[in-house]
């Protein structure tokens, strides 16, 4: 295991908060030490060391004598410019790590060395512990089933294999070679992602999990539950992102939500979903058109051809309605049985003027639905062909302000539907202007 320490400085005391002392050598003998040197080598005081040690080699194990002698001779000649780190030297039943820096001096007009020695045993131990933690961290990440990425401003610094596989990348090396992984974030979410990253680095945003959609490297789209937090990476702030693929869960939730909001047979909104959709127009007091549609003589179809054919007739009307209402920013719902309801905002010109023609947009849409549906050929038993028809009641324009006004709009539209039925069916009936005045109350 390599210990990475900066030992080239002439003042290493700045890097280590450890014991430091000086020893003076001449002709390989110890001629002076300070109290710190005595304590480093296990003596009670400087006098105890000087009284018991003659040559410097008595302070260190025999295995180090050659190295120390070689450095001593080089230093005396002025050939040493850098310090030396000695790791795990056994001294008095302890393993010491010492840093030495020798300076040539003269004592009694003869060459000598003044050697600064720093006990960095605790520093080396701490560095080893840090490296072991780092090794364990990387081992844990590489074996984790969760994807983990560490980045600075979206420049990847570390990534595990699980992240690579989840995101459809080629390899860990390919990801680390990238300048940025911002490309996997949908374009409309990138600004928010960058703001959040900056906020996390600034300590302004607490860590929390959230579900996001990513455009993966292989072109697929997936949903991930992500947890991002700030970490220290080689002395600098970085963001660690842990991801879990929840695409299946999101798809299931979307399917369940769709089922909750839509009618199973026709895939249009259910009655409860229609009321949820109407909350926004109510709040904004939107001027809207309303259509109620009911299949004519539907009971006879069921009695003559059976419920499965009847279901086909209902689905066909639903699809016809959706086709003509899709471009109007409106909503289609199954109101019950063979009856459907439609709402869409009142159309305006580019100048903001309400379109108010003899053939209103709502009436035009209703007539097109009526005409297309009655021309459709259905197949009954023994491939018997038959046609159906629909009656439609329309309120062209009404501003809904309250739930009461909404109920009034539906009621007067139902009255128009009743008139269409009474007048022979297979037709559109539009409420006269002012029929929905009550809706504003």
Measured between its terminal Cα atoms, the distance across the chain in Å is: 83
At the topology level of CATH, where does 262-431 sit? Alpha-Beta Plaits (3.30.70)
Residue 308: per-residue pLDDT = 93
Q: With 80 as the cut, is the pLDDT of residue 107 above it? A: yes
Residue 297: per-residue pLDDT = 95
Q: With 90 as the cut, is the pLDDT of residue 111 above it? A: yes
430: which DSSP letter?
E
Q: How far is the CA of 326 from the CAs of 212, 226, 334, in angstroms?
A: 29, 36, 15
Residue 136: per-residue pLDDT = 67
Which parts of 248-330 are beta strand (E)? 287-295
Mean of the pLDDT values across residues 434-440? 48
* Cβ-based neighbours of 255, under 8 Å, separated by 6 or more: none
Cα distance between residue 203 and residue 199, in whole Å: 6
Q: 354 pLDDT band (50/70/90 cuts)?
A: very low
* 79 against 53, higher pLDDT: 53
Mean of the pLDDT values across residues 383-398? 91
Residue 204: per-residue pLDDT = 78
Residues of the chain with CATH 3.30.70.270: 262-431
Kindly report, residue by residue over 157-186, the tens digit of the pLDDT: 989 989 999 999 999 999 999 999 999 998
Q: With 70 as the cut, is the pLDDT of residue 227 above it? A: yes
Kindly report, residue by residue over 321-341, the tens digit of the pLDDT: 999 998 888 899 999 999 999
Q: Which CATH class is domain 144-249?
A: alpha beta
Mean of the pLDDT values across residues 351-357? 43
Q: With 90 as the cut, is the pLDDT of residue 7 above it? A: no
Q: With 80 as the cut, is the pLDDT of residue 214 above it? A: yes
Cα distance between residue 314 and residue 298, in whole Å: 9
Cα distance between residue 310 and residue 305, in whole Å: 7
Q: With 50 as the cut, is the pLDDT of residue 15 above it? A: no
Marked catalytic residue, from 236, 338, 372, 438 = 338
55: which DSSP letter?
B
Sheet holding 155-159, edge to edge: 155-159, 147-152, 236-245, 221-233, 209-215
Cα distance between residue 302 and residue 340, in whole Å: 18
**In angstroms, how far is CA 363 from the centroid of its own chain?**
47
Report strand pairing: 390-399 vs 428-430.
parallel
Q: 203 pLDDT band (50/70/90 cuts)?
A: confident
Min mean pLDDT across 41-45, 68-72, 275-279, 433-437 is at 433-437
Residue 11: per-residue pLDDT = 42
- The Cα angle at residue 259 between residues 254 and 261, in degrees rounded to 5: 95
Cα distance between residue 339 and residue 341, in whole Å: 7
Residues of the chain with CATH 3.30.450.20: 20-125, 144-249
Q: 12 pLDDT band (50/70/90 cuts)?
A: very low
Kindly report, residue by residue over 245-293, the tens digit of the pLDDT: 999 999 998 898 888 899 999 999 999 999 999 988 888 888 889 999 9
Kindly report, residue by residue over 114-123, the tens digit of the pLDDT: 999 989 888 8
For the question of residue 372 being annotated catalytic, the response is no
Q: 137 pLDDT band (50/70/90 cuts)?
A: low
Rounded to 5 degrees, φ, ψ at 349 are -75, 175
Residue 329: per-residue pLDDT = 84
Q: Which CATH class is domain 20-125?
A: alpha beta
Task: For the chain, give the percent of residues with pLDDT over 70.
Answer: 87
Mean of the pLDDT values across residues 81-88? 83
Q: How far is the CA of 329 from the CAs of 281, 316, 322, 326, 342, in angstroms?
A: 12, 21, 11, 6, 11
Kindly report, residue by residue over 16-61, the tens digit of the pLDDT: 446 889 999 999 999 999 999 999 999 999 999 999 999 999 999 9
Min mean pLDDT across 15-29, 185-199, 420-434 is at 15-29
Residue 2: per-residue pLDDT = 39
Mean of the pLDDT values across residues 1-24? 54
Mean of the pLDDT values across residues 7-12? 40
């Amino acid at each position: 295991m390599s210990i990475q320490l900066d030992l080239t400085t002439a003042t290493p005391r700045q890097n280590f908060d450890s014991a430091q002392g000086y020893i003076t050598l001449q002709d390989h003998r110890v001629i002076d030490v300070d109290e710190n040197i005595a304590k480093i080598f296990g003596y009670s005081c400087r006098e105890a060391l000087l009284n018991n040690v003659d040559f410097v080699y008595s302070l260190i194990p025999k295995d180090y004598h050659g190295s120390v002698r070689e450095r001593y001779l080089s230093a005396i000649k002025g050939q040493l410019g850098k310090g030396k780190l000695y790791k795990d030297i056994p001294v008095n039943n302890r393993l010491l790590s010492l840093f030495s820096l020798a300076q040539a001096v003269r004592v009694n007009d003869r060459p000598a060395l003044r050697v600064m020695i720093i006990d960095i045993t605790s520093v080396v131990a701490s560095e080893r512990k840090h490296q072991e933690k780092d090794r364990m961290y990387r081992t844990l990440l590489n074996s984790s089933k969760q994807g983990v990425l560490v980045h600075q401003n979206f420049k990847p610094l570390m990534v595990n294999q699980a992240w690579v596989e989840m995101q459809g990348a080629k390899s860990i090396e390919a990801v680390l070679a990238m300048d940025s992984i911002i490309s996997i974030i949908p374009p409309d979410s990138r600004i928010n992602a960058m703001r959040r990253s900056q906020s996390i680095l600034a300590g302004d945003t607490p860590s929390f999990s959230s579900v996001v959609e990513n455009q993966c490297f292989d072109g697929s789209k997936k949903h991930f539950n992500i947890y991002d937090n700030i970490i220290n990476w080689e002395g600098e702030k970085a963001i660690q992102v842990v991801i879990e693929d929840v695409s299946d869960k999101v798809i299931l939730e979307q399917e369940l939500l769709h089922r909750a909001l839509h009618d199973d047979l026709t895939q249009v909104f259910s009655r409860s979903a229609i009321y949820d959709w109407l909350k926004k127009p109510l709040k904004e007091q939107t001027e809207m058109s309303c259509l109620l549609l009911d299949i004519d003589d539907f009971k006879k179809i069921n009695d003559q051809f059976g419920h499965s054919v009847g279901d086909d007739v209902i689905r066909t009307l639903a699809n016809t309605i959706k086709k003509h209402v899709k471009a109007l920013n409106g909503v289609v719902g199954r109101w019950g049985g063979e009856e459907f309801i439609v709402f869409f905002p009142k159309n305006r010109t580019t100048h903001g003027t309400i379109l108010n023609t003899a053939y209103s947009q709502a009436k035009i849409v209703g007539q097109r639905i009526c005409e297309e549906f009655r021309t459709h050929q259905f197949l009954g038993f023994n491939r018997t062909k038959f046609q159906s028809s629909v009656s439609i009641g329309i309120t062209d324009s009404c501003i809904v302000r309250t739930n009461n006004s909404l109920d009034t709009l539906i009621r007067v539209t139902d009255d128009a539907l009743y008139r269409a039925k009474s007048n022979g069916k297979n037709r559109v009936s539009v409420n006269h202007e002012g029929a929905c005045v009550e809706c504003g109350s």
